[in-house]
Structure 1
C-alpha cells in the first residue's frame, strides 16, 4: 500500500496543544512528581548519615532516629508517587478521550469524497491503536520528568560529595548522548512503517469481517487469509527491524552507565580505604549515581515511546487537518417555504477531475410530482440522487429546491427535508424502534408504528421476539434483506420529508412484497416530490414521469408508455435491465 506522508512536527504540536489545554491536571501530576523526585534525593543522604553517625559509631539511639525519619520520608514518597500516578493517568486518558472525540467529530463532518478514498480500517486504526500509543507516552511525561529532576539533583549532590567522582561518572555521558541521537534518527523510519503496517492490518480485518458473507459465498477464505498473512508479515518484518535496533542500542544504554558506576566504586573505595572519604559518603555517592544512571538506562524505551507517539499523532493529524469539501456557507439561508420543486440547471459533476459523470444535466421536477430516473449502469442516475442532499457539490451549474440554490441553504435543514432509501440498507446494532426513529429521535411510538405500517413492516416487527424493542444484529443482518429494506423505508417515511428519494428501494424484496411496498409507497408519495431510481418496471410505473438518463444527460422524458413507443434507446435500456434481472 502507498506510504502515507507524515508531518512529525504537526504531530508534536498536536500533543503539545492538548497538553496545554489540560495544564491544571498536568500541573498536579508534575508537582507530585517533582516532590517525589526531590524527596528521593533525601534517602541516600539519610543512609550516608546513618552509616557514618550511627552504624560506624554503634549508636543505637541515632540509628533509631534515622530509621524513624526514613519511614516518614518513605510515607510521604508513597503519597507523592500515588498522586503522581493517578493524575498522570487521569490526564493521559482525558487527552486520549479529547483526541478521540475530536477525531470522531472530524470524520463525521468530512464530505463523502474523503470517505470514498480512505479505507475504513485506516480510520479505525487512528481511533484505537494510534491514540493508545499517544496515551502510553503521555502517562509517562510526569513520571519521566520526576526521574529527570531526580537525576539532575543527584548529579548536583554527587558534585558536592566529590567533584572527582562526579567527573568520572559523567565521562560516559557524551557517548550516551551521541548514541541517543543516532538511535532516534534510525528508529524514526521503522516506527513509521510499523504504524502504517498496523493500519493496513486493521483495513484488511475490517474488510474481511464486513464482507464475511461475500467471502464465504465465493469460497475466498484462503485468499483473505493470504491477504492477512501478507499484511501480518509486513508488520513482523518491519517490527523486527525496530527490535534489532533496540537490541543493539538498548544494552549500550545499560552498559555505559554501569561502567561509570564501576569506576566510581573502584575510585571511591580507594578514597575510603585511604581515609579521604567516609563509608557513608561513598554509599550515598553510589546511590546518587544509581539515580543518575536509571534515566539513562531507560532512555532507549523513552525515545522509542516518544517516537511512536509522535508518529501516531502525525497520523491522527492527517485526518484532523482535512476539511470538508461540502461546507455550509456563512449566513446560510433557512429552507424556503414550498412543496419540493427541484431544478437541475446545466449540472456537470464528476467524482474525479476530468471524468464527468453528469454533463450539463438539466431536469425540472414539479412540486408533488414523482419522477423515475432510468438508465444503463454508470449513466449517472444514482449520482443525481447524491447531489440533491449535497453529499457532493456540483462542478458546474446549480441545483434549486423550491427556488433556492441548495448551496445557499443551511445544510442540516436541507438534508432533514430529504428522505432517502438507499439500495444498500444500513441498520445500526440497536432496537428496531431506534433504527426507525434515527432521523427523528423525538418521534412518538404512534408515529413510529404508523411509519412501519405504511412500509408494511409492522406485521413482521410484531412477530420478532421483543417486537419494536428487538435488537437487530450488526448492520441488521439478523433480518432478511426485504425486512431491512422496509425498516429503511419506514425510517424515511417517519421524517415526513419534503422530497423522497428511492434509490432501488425495492431491490431486496420479492415480487409479492414489492407489490405491498408499492401500495404503501403510492400513499406516501401522494402529493410529495419523489425521485425514483429503479431497475424494476413495476416500480418505475409508480412515477408520473420517466426520465431516461444516458451518458450523464437527459436523453428523453415522458411517461413509460410514451417512451416505449417513441424512444429506441429507452427500449434498449429496459431490455438490458430485464436481461440483468433474469
Structure 2
C-alpha cells in the first residue's frame, strides 16, 4: 500500500504530461463543450421568458421571438456537440497511440536483465488495457469540464431566480463532494488490484499460447486451464467488488437531484400559488433541477474513469521510469571491428543467483572459431550475452579489439557482434524481411547471398512465394532446422565481425 501511495505523484505527473501533449485537442474539446453547455443552460431560461412574456400575456409576437431564439440555441447545441464528439475521439486516439508508442520504444531501450524480470504479458497488459484507460480519460476530459461548469452555471442561475429555493436544492452538493472523495479512495485500491489480476491473466495466456507445442506435448492443457479459471474467478470477484461500490455510490448520487425535484415541486409550487414566483421561473427551476441529474451522474462515473486512469498511469510509469542498467559511454571509442575477443577475469551471476562465470579468461583471435562445451547452466549463453553486451560483467572486462565494451557505443557493439540463439525466433513477416531484420536497407541480391551461405536458399526457393512467403507465428510453418538457417542468414547479412 505504501508503494502504491508512493507511485501516486508519478501517476499524476504522467496524466498531466498526456494532457499537455494533447493540449490543443483538449482545448478544442473544452471550448466546444462549453458552447454545448451554454446552449443547454440557456434553453430553460428561453422557455421561462417565452412563458412569462409570451404565453401568460398572450403576446404572439414575443412568443415567436423567443421560439426563434430557442431554435438558435438548439442549433448551437447541435454544432458544438458535433465538434465536442470529434475532439473527444481525436484526443482518445492520439493519446492511446502515444502511450503505446512510448511503452514500445522504451521497452526496446531496456536491457535484457529487465526483460528477464518482467514478462511479456505484463508489458502487453500495460500497452493494451492500461493505455485504454488513459484513452478513456482523454475522451471524457472535455465532457467532464463541461459538466462541472454546467453544475456551477445552473447553481448560479438558480440562485438568481430564487436564492431560497436554490439553497434547498443545492444543500446536498457538498455532501456529494465528500462522498465522491471517499468513494474515489476505495475505488483506486480496487482498480489497482483488478488491473494487476488482468496482467497476471494476460501473462498466463501469452506464455501458454507461445509455448502451445510444449503444452500439448506434455498434456498440460487441463492444468493450465484450471490455473486460468482461477485467475478469471479472481478477476470476476474484484470486478464485482467494484460493482458493489458503484451500486451504493451512483444510485445515491442520482437520488439527491430527485429529492431536489420534490422540494421544488412542493416549495416552488406553493410560491407560484402565492404569487411570489412566476410560472416561467417555476418551469425553468424544474428544468434546471432535472438538468443536474445527468451531470452529477456522469461526474460520479468520471471519478471512476479518473481513478482507473491513475491506476493505469502508475503501472505505465513503472515501465517508463525503469532505467537501462547498461550505460552509454560519455566519450565513446570509435570501433574498427576486426573481431578480436578477450575476456579477462570475468565474474557474472544473474540477479540473486550465484556466479555463473567466476574469473573466466578467454581469447579468440580474428578468424578463429571456438566451441564452448559444458553442462546446462554452465554459462555458455551468458558468455554470448556478454559479448553482445546484453549484460555487463560484475567484475573483469570484456574486450573487443582491445577496447572494453563499456567504452564503445552499444549500437557499434551490436553491429559488430551477431548472435544466433539456440531458440530461434522469427517474426510473422516474409522470409525476406526476416533475413534483413538487422539491415533493413539490404538489397534483394544481398539477401539471396546470405541465404545461400546459410544453406537456406534451396528450401526457400521451394516455398509457395519464395522469399515473399509469409511465415507463421514465430516461424513455426518451417521446421526447426529451416528456422535455424534463416536465423543464420539473418546474422550473416548483418556482416558482423564476430558471429556467435
Say yes or no: TM over 0.5.
yes
Contact 1:91 1:139 in 2 (8 A): yes
* Structure-2 separation of matches of 1:383 and 1:26: 49
* Structure-1 separation of matches of 2:186 and 2:402: 61
* Structure-2 separation of matches of 1:348 and 1:99: 38
Cα offset for 1:177? 2.2
* Structure-2 separation of matches of 1:61 and 1:51: 13
* Structure-2 separation of matches of 1:414 and 1:408: 10
Paired residue for 1:529? none
Does 2:439 correspond to 1:440? Answer: yes
Residue 437 of structure 2 aligns to a residue whose secondary structure is helix
- Give 1 or 2 for the bigger CA radius of gyration: 1
Paired residue for 2:390? 391
* Structure-1 separation of matches of 2:5 and 2:374: 41
* Structure-2 separation of matches of 1:67 and 1:172: 34
* Structure-2 separation of matches of 1:365 and 1:36: 73
Cα offset for 1:136? 0.6
The one-character-per-residue Cα deviations of 1:289-332 (angstroms, maximum 9, x if unpaired) are 23334322333211111111100010001100100001212222
Paired residue for 1:355? 354
Paired residue for 2:39? 39
Paired residue for 2:378? 379
Contact 1:171 1:260 in 2 (8 A): no
Contact 1:457 1:486 in 2 (8 A): yes
* Structure-2 separation of matches of 1:58 and 1:74: 24
Contact 1:54 1:62 in 2 (8 A): yes
Cα offset for 1:386? 0.7
* Structure-2 separation of matches of 1:490 and 1:389: 18
The one-character-per-residue Cα deviations of 1:165-187 (angstroms, maximum 9, x if unpaired) are 11101122232223212211222
Contact 1:4 1:196 in 2 (8 A): no
Contact 1:358 1:380 in 2 (8 A): yes
Paired residue for 1:334? 334
Contact 1:191 1:242 in 2 (8 A): yes
Contact 1:6 1:315 in 2 (8 A): no
Paired residue for 2:288? 288
Cα offset for 1:4? 7.8
| Structure 1 range deviating more: 52-61 or 233-242 | 52-61
- After superposition, the Cα gap between the structure-2 partners of 1:42 and 1:338, relative to the gap in structure 1 and judged at 3 Å, is closer
Paired residue for 1:248? 248
The one-character-per-residue Cα deviations of 1:415-444 (angstroms, maximum 9, x if unpaired) are 011121110000000000111111111211
Paired residue for 1:561? none
* Structure-1 separation of matches of 2:284 and 2:130: 42
Residue 205 of structure 1 aligns to a residue whose secondary structure is helix
Paired residue for 1:460? 459
Paired residue for 1:420? 419
Residue 277 of structure 2 aligns to a residue whose secondary structure is coil
* Structure-2 separation of matches of 1:331 and 1:84: 51
Residue 61 of structure 2 aligns to a residue whose secondary structure is helix
* Structure-2 separation of matches of 1:228 and 1:353: 29
| Structure 1 range deviating more: 55-64 or 458-467 | 55-64
Residue 247 of structure 1 aligns to a residue whose secondary structure is helix
Does 2:52 correspond to 1:52? Answer: yes
Contact 1:208 1:215 in 2 (8 A): yes
Cα offset for 1:120? 0.9
RMSD of aligned Cα (Å): 1.5
Cα offset for 1:5? 8.1
Matches within 5 A, 1:178-257: 178-257=178-257
* Structure-1 separation of matches of 2:291 and 2:33: 15
Does 2:479 correspond to 1:480? Answer: yes
The one-character-per-residue Cα deviations of 1:140-179 (angstroms, maximum 9, x if unpaired) are 1111111111111111110110011111011222322232
TM-score normalized by the length of structure 1: 0.83
- After superposition, the Cα gap between the structure-2 partners of 1:253 and 1:236, relative to the gap in structure 1 and judged at 3 Å, is same
Residue 419 of structure 2 aligns to a residue whose secondary structure is strand
The one-character-per-residue Cα deviations of 1:28-51 (angstroms, maximum 9, x if unpaired) are 211111122222221111000111
Higher helix share: 2
* Structure-1 separation of matches of 2:285 and 2:180: 25
Contact 2:18 2:95 in 1 (8 A): yes
Paired residue for 1:69? 69
Contact 2:426 2:483 in 1 (8 A): yes
* Structure-1 separation of matches of 2:40 and 2:161: 17
Paired residue for 1:120? 120
Residue 391 of structure 2 aligns to a residue whose secondary structure is coil
- Give the gaps of 5 or more residues in structure 2: none
The one-character-per-residue Cα deviations of 1:527-568 (angstroms, maximum 9, x if unpaired) are xxxxxxxxxxxxxxxxxxxxxxxxxxxxxxxxxxxxxxxxxx
Contact 2:428 2:473 in 1 (8 A): yes
* Structure-2 separation of matches of 1:267 and 1:449: 88
* Structure-1 separation of matches of 2:33 and 2:263: 31
* Structure-2 separation of matches of 1:27 and 1:271: 42
